Amino acid sequence: MATYERKDRFYRKAKEQGLPSRASFKIEEMIQKHRLVKAGDRVLDLGAAPGGWTVILAKAIGPKGLVLAIDLAPLAKSAPNVRFRQDDIHGEATALWLEEELAGKKVHAVCSDMSPKLTGIAFKDAYLSDELAVKALEIARHWLQAVL
> CA–CA separation, 138 vs 146, rounded Å?
14
Question: CB under 8 Å to 130, separation ≥6 — which residues?
Answer: none
- Which domains are delineated in the chain? 9-143 (3.40.50.150)
The pLDDT value recorded for residue 12 is 73
In the chain, the amino acid numbered 52 is G
pLDDT at 138 over 80: yes
> Mean pLDDT over residues 44-53, rounded?
94
Q: In a 10 Å sphere around its CB, with 0-12 CB exposed, 13-18 middle and 19+ buried, how is residue 44 labelled?
A: buried
Q: Each residue of 57-87: pLDDT tens digit?
A: 999 999 999 999 999 999 988 899 999 999 9
| pLDDT of amino acid 20 | 67
